[in-house]
Chains A and B, each alone.
Chain A
Amino acid sequence: MNENGGYVLQVREIVKEFPGVRALDGVRFDLARGEVHALVGENGAGKSTLIKILAGVYAKDEGEILFEGKPAVITSPTDSLRLGIKVVFQELALIPNMTVAENVFLESFPLKKNKAIDWVRMNERTTDILLSIGLPISPRSKVGGLTVSQQQMVEIARALSHEAKVVVMDEPTSALSPNEIKFLFNVMNKLKKLGIGIVYVTHKLEEVFEISDRVTVLRDGRLISTKPVGETGTDEVVRDMVGRSITTLFPRTHPGSRTHAAANAPVLQVENLSTEKKLRDVSLSVHAGEVVGVFGLLGAGRSELAKAIFGLDRINRGRILIEGRELRSGSPSHSVKMGIGLLTENRKEEGLVLQMSVSQNITLTSIRELATLGLINRKMETERSREFVERFSIKTPSLRQKVMFLSGGNQQKVLLARWLMKSLRLIILDEPTRGIDVGAKAEIHKLIDELAKEGLAVLVMTSEMPELLGVSDRILVMSKGSVTGEFPREQTTQEDILAAAIL
């Protein structure tokens, strides 16, 4: 092989550090011309850091990047684009109110001799590019009105308009239907034939084996393996990703003490729930003392379901019953009164009041009960807060510390404590351990277990398979706004679940 051996992109010994964590620790990565190279790893493995460095959003601390054999300096998105690297992120970089053609040529509009925009040429060239990838939409349509799949194609069209040599796709199929995924793969094959190298970041291992030529596994910021797809299999890749067998990671629940929970009347009953934007005819039930895990890929509707059950979003059709009584939709204060709690997936945006103290956050929902005639009983507030801080092992220098200074795991515990200070019947947890380190994760899982033992009905939304299998008694799978499968925890495999998730 000659110097760059047909590699369009080479990444060597890349190191990237953030305060407190080494996101990338000496990672190597190659991309050949006309190759689809999959990049996989758990949350926090370093995939998104790596592609952000390629995109020019982050600057590497150490290491080198070679583009077509020559050292490349990428310090800004413009550098990356000029080289010929196009990264298609999940949040598509499009201007919704502008047309397809304008978005495709956003970096540089074709101009006439008098410097005016050559609309005719721009529209024609856009049509040509769109045809070449098989997308028959008008260049004049506004991007905001297109489907996600079509919008993705517009981004790819933009890459083609710049004769990009490398296209990076970040979780492209999370919001696509199977047909749209097939279409995407067709387009990717066309790009391959043009000699474009594609980096494909995904959680979905079946796609890795369907579309890519090689697969690289990252774990905890390090390169674990790079292998041709034909020389490896799902189990090996999963083992490389996780580094340990799944079963020993999460606390064993005690099936014996909980199976009889199902015999009781359900605390939560959802009947034919539909909302305007996402949910289609969802029905489910959760009993006291039971943990029901809800799995789904991105866009499946888990968070929408959580919010709809809690009463944050308005319901089009169907009803929600809490212990037999119907819930009024659109009124969170009513839901709280009925004994429901919701831990959202964005603890900073929708959970914590960052400028308030630990005890103020913990007591937020139950402050009425700690007050007489409206006046807060400070002593009671402090006592109750201390109680929960100790019970949940929340690490904080004092009750008066502002929660913005706590670590992610402890912040999450503060939110859990807030809800549990109220005597609830049902608690909904949406991605309860997202962005939290392994140690705190285990603590939270133990807490969930205890909650169920105390008789609470627990509904957990999660996109992490091991967590799902570890904490749930029963598993529901969602896809595109509907429930597509229900499984008991025993004897259910990842494949069963994933199969239902991509229906």
Chain B
Amino acid sequence: MEGTQSSGKGSLWSKLILFNEIILVAILVTISAAISLGAPQFYSTTNMLNILRDSSMAIIAGVGMTMLIITGEVDLSIGSLVAFVGVVTMDVTNKTNSVALGVLAGLGLGAVTGLVNGFVRTKLRVNSLIGTIAMLMILRGGVYLYSLAAVQNYHQLKAFFDIGNGYVGFMPIPVLVMITLAVVFLVVVNRTVMGRYLYATGGNYAAARISGIKVDGLKILTFVICSVFAAISGVILVSRMNSGQPNAGTGFELTVVAGVILGGTSLGGGEGTLMGTLVGVLILRIINNGIIILGWNQDLQIVISGIVIIVAIYVDNKRKIARARIIST
């Protein structure tokens, strides 16, 4: 009788995965400690709150991106989308004097982008990496066509300002939104039928399809979720910057994707956790914040993000190879 891979190996693996998240938290703590050595103001409550609030945008987008990457796809257009959403939201709010309409327009743009990305992937069969890079170009060109200059705040509505800068009690509104969406993610992904379908589609598209799951529809839905979440962070951003800037968000997609992958979500699909994304994105945001506080050149952010993505994929690859070795025996 062929031996089942004994539980010995099984628990070794679960140890390794748990290990992964402990490692991440350890990295987080180490980097924070290092930075505060160079710049003691790092550990102040104000700075911590700032970090949390600044990270909320990346984390919100990261939550949506995690869902998408679990299904085995990726979306690199969110940076340009954030800019476009900001411009459109500010412009519509200006023209209609209604924050609700402005936000709706911005989210609507996100939804449409997601639909197109999903369509390009499932019906035209274009690899999502390339397809969303093309979308990145289309949106970036598009936002400049919509408005060459930054769209200033002419409406001066308080509700608009509050989105990014207001508080509910002691909690900044962006952080509240972030927590809400994170909870939604946790419930949907871990406890619902849809969550199960997400993991199955990413883990084995063919098997999921044969099991009767509507895989293409699911992917399109997930693209839309990712874009809408990115649009939400775009609305928060434009509120904080107080103007819709067409050049915003450059490199944003990189921080988000790098953070998600760093957090253990595999680009191959079929795995990903909220905790991982959270810590991964936070690590990158803290690095960015540290660079600013230490007075280093801000362009280091892009360089570091690029290197992090390479390292994260390399580590991800090694884990995949180790896993494949177990499957084949």
Residues of chain A having any CB pair with chain B under 8 Å: 19-20, 310, 312, 332-333, 335-337, 342, 344, 348-356, 360, 364-365, 367-368, 371, 374-376, 395-398, 401-402, 404-410, 418, 437, 439
- Chain B positions within 8 Å of A312 at CB level: 209-210
- Chain A positions within 8 Å of B10 at CB level: 397, 401-402, 405
Bitwise, B172-195 to A at CB < 8 A (1) or not (0) is 000000000000000100011110
Kindly count the residue-residue contacts between A and B in the assembled complex, taking CB atoms under 8 Å apart.
Answer: 108
Determine the distance from Cα of A378 to Cα of B211 in the docked complex, in whole angstroms.
20
Contact of B327 among A342, A356, A401, A404 (CB under 8 A): A404
Query: Which residue on A lies nearest to B190, using beta carbons?
Result: A376
Smallest CB separation, A34 vs chain B (Å): 40
Show 10 A/B contacts (Cβ-Cβ < 8 Å), sorted by A: A332-B210, A342-B210, A350-B204, A350-B210, A354-B204, A355-B271, A367-B196, A375-B192, A376-B191, A404-B326
Are B4 and A406 in touch, CB under 8 angstroms?
Answer: yes
Smallest CB separation, B13 vs chain A (Å): 8
Bitwise, B199-218 to A at CB < 8 A (1) or not (0) is 11001101111111110000
- Chain A positions within 8 Å of B270 at CB level: 353, 355-356
Contact of B214 among A333, A354, A402, A408 (CB under 8 A): A333
Check B30 for interface membership: any CB of A closer than 8 A: no
Please name the 3 residue pairs, one residue from A and one from B, whose CB atoms are nearest each other, closest first.
A336-B212, A405-B5, A353-B203
Determine which residue in A332, A375, A406 has the highest number of CB atoms from chain B within 10 A of its CB, and name it. A332
Smallest CB separation, A16 vs chain B (Å): 15
Check B7 for interface membership: any CB of A closer than 8 A: yes
Smallest CB separation, A359 vs chain B (Å): 11
- Chain A positions within 8 Å of B329 at CB level: 19-20
Interface residues of B in 277-329 (CB under 8 A from A): 323, 326-327, 329
Apart from A20-B2, A344-B210, A354-B327, what 19 extra A-B contacts exist at CB < 8 Å?
A20-B329, A332-B209, A332-B212, A333-B212, A333-B214, A336-B212, A349-B206, A350-B204, A351-B210, A355-B270, A356-B200, A360-B196, A365-B211, A365-B212, A374-B192, A397-B6, A397-B10, A404-B323, A410-B4
Query: Which residue on B lies nearest to A394, using beta carbons?
Result: B4
Determine which residue in B2, B6, B10 has the highest number of CB atoms from chain A within 10 A of its CB, and name it. B2
Determine the distance from Cα of A312 to Cα of B208 in the docked complex, in whole angstroms.
12
Determine the distance from Cα of A351 to Cα of B13 in the docked complex, in whole angstroms.
23
Are A367 and B193 in touch, CB under 8 angstroms?
Answer: yes
Determine the distance from Cα of A375 to Cα of B2 in the docked complex, in whole angstroms.
37
- Chain A positions within 8 Å of B7 at CB level: 397-398, 401
- Chain A positions within 8 Å of B5 at CB level: 404-406
